[in-house]
Structure 1
Amino acid sequence: MADFTFRRALQPLIHVLVWGLFGLTFLLFHPLTGRVVMPPQFWVKQGLMLAVWVGAFYLTAGVSVPRLLFRGHTGWFVGALVATAALLLLANYGLEKQLHLRELMDRAFHAAIDPAGAGPQRRGPGGPALGGGLRGARSPFRFDATGTLITLLVLGISTSITVVQRWQTEAQGRERLEQQRVLSELASLKAQINPHFFFNTLNNIYALTLLDGEQARAAIHRLSRMMRYVLYDTAAGPTLLSQEVAFIQDYITLMQLRLTDRVTVEFAPPAPLHDVPLAPMLLLPFVENAFKHGAAASHTSRIVVALRQPTLHTLALEVRNTLLPTPTTDLAGSNGIGLANTRRRLELLYPGRYDLQVTERTPANEYLVELTLTV
């Protein structure tokens, strides 16, 4: 926002500097100023034409282009552009006529060529009278090619700049809308994941209260710590890998409170762990799925969660759970949002930087999820 305000404040200064440079060039570097002593009317005409060109520039940029060209009235816009150019050329001609500039320039031109003032009677050796030749010569101001060229350049540059600025504004607007859409979608996905996780966890704690009140109180305390992490520590955006690992460890400890000795749980965090930014709650659905579908009181099973960092900015997750004689394993849980949300978050947050492989049945009768992520 501050950068946008600074750029808007800088624009008038840029316009003043550009027009100042143009004016100095136009007034001081005329092709004849070094050879002819210009009358005062010449500078008056040049200054007035400069003001007219400035007005035509902003008239085209502020009225003709937005109200005609941008609204699809191309024919009217071309007509307006031609009319503006014609009016500028007429203004140029009218100023010359009103200030008697052509006669004054003729005199200055003749004075520069014939400083002795011999007039038409002075002849060059073997040639015609110089005065008559000068009177018959065409003054460079009979056709103001410079004024015509500047008129066309002013109108062309005004149109081009306005069109480019409109294109840039629309492109920035589309980019902002896309960013807002992505952020809104991410917020929606995260809002769906969190209730899903806490709904399942509260069910587990409820079951635990029937067996061991002391462990249930410890589980509630651990859950409150996890909720604080989700609601406050991750609200600003990415979290650190160390915090996410601690969160997964808390989750696994919480889940182990209700497991029997038939379920073996192995958790291997990265060693050594290098802290890198990571989207919060991104790995939890895979771990949660393993406990939901890989643990049962009446069957022997194993759950393995392994995190590795092959390189500083590469994270590899491997989650295994024994396949039990229950419905097909998936990440959706009871409401079908886990796997779809996780894949969508990966696509939005790490496009082209992740590889997710899911093996529904390995030779060891396990469900295997392998995720490689470049963070």
Structure 2
Amino acid sequence: MAAFPIRRYLTPLIHVLMWGLFGLSLVLLNPLLGRFELPWQFWAKQALVFALWVAAFYLTAYVSVPRLLFRGHVGWFVLVILLTAAVVMGLSQLAESALNLQTLMDQHLRPPNGGFRPGPGRGPGPGAFRPRPRRFDMVGMLTTLLVLGISTSIAAVQKWQTDTQRRQELEQQKVHSELSFLKAQINPHFFFNTLNNIYALTVVDAAAARQAIHTLSRMMRYVLYETPADTTSLAKELAFVQDYVALMKLRLTERVRVELEWPEPVRDVPVAPMLLLPYVENAFKHGVSATQPSRIRVAVRQPSANVLELEVRNTRFAAPATSLDEGSGIGLANTQRRLDLLYPGRYVLQVEEATPEGEFCVTLTLHTV
């Protein structure tokens, strides 16, 4: 069952609750509260005030704030807010005068037996009812300013949320474009080296060259159908690395010892495609000698379901030291950049230039989820 889209209805619900609260305040904050025979003029005036609040709220949220406050015209914005509040209060007072609401309120608030009939030449006695003088509606003014303040706050928060969402979308697009560029660099780099190896193999052993072409075609299918996606399964990634190792072993002599260690069984988790290959490729590129014994060890482990460990060791010769930043071609530098983009804070990369056994060692610990 699909989840209830709460975000779609959250904003309308907030508006409904807010206007319900303000509508209730029109009744609760009125001096006629508790009297059951209220004139229709009272409700007409309250409805008009409520409509003026609604109009001022959305005028501020969708006109004054975007066109003045967000464009840096703070002084003009404050002036427009005060002018809007004055217009609301002025129209409210005009409506009250037109409906003779003050007189009706005086009649409802007249104390019992408070009136009298003055005789000729006599003023009102001490018990006579005197109409209340009209005073400025401070409560209405403060409530109007509160409505305009809430309108400004909501508009500012919505703009902040929109800007944040846009920045995240732009950042995701930037990361996606950069990852696509990095993968486009890795793939030609790998196939360029592999085709050179097969070309050299055709001169020595045609049958081995045909096997190498078959293996390479299987690897090309992986690259064509798996690498365009953001992730692939660990089983497919390991099969791709095994094909690469098998392809490299076809041209190695008996002086090179290749050791492989794979998890059994493989816990299938999503990983970035062609993420492990550059480290293995680097070992074959710098850890093989035609005259001296050499050793390459590739170990993949899964200590837990969501943790993947890769250890690659190769013999270190007297040539310039292998580095992740230089001397290792495009692949390793791009792979480390992909790790930063895809697994920020979720990987540990350790590089030992020279171990006690005289080897170059790269260890990658990756939290896949």
> Is the CA contact 1:285–1:331 (under 8 Å) kept in the aligned structure 2?
no
> Is the CA contact 1:27–1:43 (under 8 Å) kept in the aligned structure 2?
no
Q: Quick check: 1:282 aligned with 2:280?
A: no
Change (3 A) 1:6 1:188: farther
Q: Quick check: 1:21 aligned with 2:20?
A: yes
CA distance in 2: counterparts of 1:279 and 1:295, whole angstroms: 28
> Is the CA contact 1:289–1:330 (under 8 Å) kept in the aligned structure 2?
no
Q: Quick check: 1:313 aligned with 2:303?
A: no
What do residues 80-137 of structure 1 show as CA deviations (whole Å, max 9, x unaligned)?
A: 1111111111111111111111112111221xx32xx562379xxxxx96742x426x
Q: 1:125 matched to which residue of 2? A: none
Q: Which amino acid aligns with 1:99?
A: L
> Is the CA contact 1:289–1:331 (under 8 Å) kept in the aligned structure 2?
no
CA distance in 2: counterparts of 1:290 and 1:198, whole angstroms: 16
Q: 2:250 aligns with which of 257, 268, 271?
A: 257
For residue 217 of structure 1, report the CA deviation from its aligned partner: 1.8
Q: 1:195 aligns with which of 173, 177, 188?
A: 188
> Is the CA contact 2:350–2:364 (under 8 Å) kept in the aligned structure 1?
yes
CA distance in 2: counterparts of 1:256 and 1:333, whole angstroms: 25
For residue 210 of structure 1, report the CA deviation from its aligned partner: 1.3
Change (3 A) 1:196 1:332: farther
Q: Quick check: 1:58 aligned with 2:51?
A: no
CA distance in 1: counterparts of 2:106 and 2:69, whole angstroms: 43
> Is the CA contact 1:52–1:88 (under 8 Å) kept in the aligned structure 2?
yes
> Is the CA contact 1:319–1:369 (under 8 Å) kept in the aligned structure 2?
yes
For residue 51 of structure 1, report the CA deviation from its aligned partner: 1.2
Q: 1:238 matched to which residue of 2? A: 231
Q: 1:300 matched to which residue of 2? A: 293
Q: Which amino acid aligns with 1:38?
A: L
> Is the CA contact 2:52–2:88 (under 8 Å) kept in the aligned structure 1?
yes
> Is the CA contact 1:266–1:305 (under 8 Å) kept in the aligned structure 2?
yes
Q: 3-state SS of the aligned residue for 1:317?
A: strand
Change (3 A) 1:271 1:197: same
Q: 1:222 matched to which residue of 2? A: 215
Q: Which amino acid aligns with 1:152?
A: L
Q: Quick check: 1:135 aligned with 2:135?
A: no
RMSD: 2.7
Q: 3-state SS of the aligned residue for 1:119?
A: coil
For residue 246 of structure 1, report the CA deviation from its aligned partner: 1.0
Q: 2:121 matched to which residue of 1? A: none
For residue 37 of structure 1, report the CA deviation from its aligned partner: 2.5
Change (3 A) 1:203 1:333: farther
CA distance in 2: counterparts of 1:277 and 1:309, whole angstroms: 13
CA distance in 2: counterparts of 1:256 and 1:218, whole angstroms: 12
Q: Which amino acid aligns with 1:37?
A: E
CA distance in 1: counterparts of 2:116 and 2:198, whole angstroms: 117
- Matches for 1:96-115 after TM superposition, within 5 Å: 96-110=96-110, 113-114=111-112
For residue 299 of structure 1, report the CA deviation from its aligned partner: 2.3
What do residues 19-52 of structure 1 show as CA deviations (whole Å, max 9, x unaligned)?
A: 6624652455454232263211111111112111
Q: 3-state SS of the aligned residue for 2:295?
A: strand
Quick one: percent identity of the two aligned structures? 57
Change (3 A) 1:369 1:334: closer
For residue 270 of structure 1, report the CA deviation from its aligned partner: 1.5
- Matches for 1:33-182 after TM superposition, within 5 Å: 33-35=33-35, 37-110=37-110, 113-114=111-112, 119-120=115-116, 131-132=127-128, 134-135=129-130, 138=132, 142-182=135-175
For residue 363 of structure 1, report the CA deviation from its aligned partner: 2.4
For residue 309 of structure 1, report the CA deviation from its aligned partner: 1.5
> Is the CA contact 2:56–2:84 (under 8 Å) kept in the aligned structure 1?
yes
Contiguous gaps of at least 5 residues in structure 2: 119-123
What do residues 270-296 of structure 1 show as CA deviations (whole Å, max 9, x unaligned)?
A: 234222221111111110011111123
> Is the CA contact 2:282–2:328 (under 8 Å) kept in the aligned structure 1?
no
What do residues 48-100 of structure 1 show as CA deviations (whole Å, max 9, x unaligned)?
A: 12111111111111111111100000001011111111111111111111111
Q: Which amino acid aligns with 2:348?
A: D
> Is the CA contact 2:259–2:296 (under 8 Å) kept in the aligned structure 1?
yes
Q: 1:208 matched to which residue of 2? A: 201
Q: 3-state SS of the aligned residue for 1:61?
A: helix
Q: 1:367 aligns with which of 360, 366, 369?
A: 360
What do residues 151-201 of structure 1 show as CA deviations (whole Å, max 9, x unaligned)?
A: 111111111100111111111111111111112111111111111111111
> Is the CA contact 2:351–2:362 (under 8 Å) kept in the aligned structure 1?
yes
Count residues with an aligned counterpart.
360
> Is the CA contact 1:308–1:316 (under 8 Å) kept in the aligned structure 2?
yes
Q: 3-state SS of the aligned residue for 2:274?
A: coil
Q: 1:344 matched to which residue of 2? A: 337
Q: 3-state SS of the aligned residue for 2:364?
A: strand
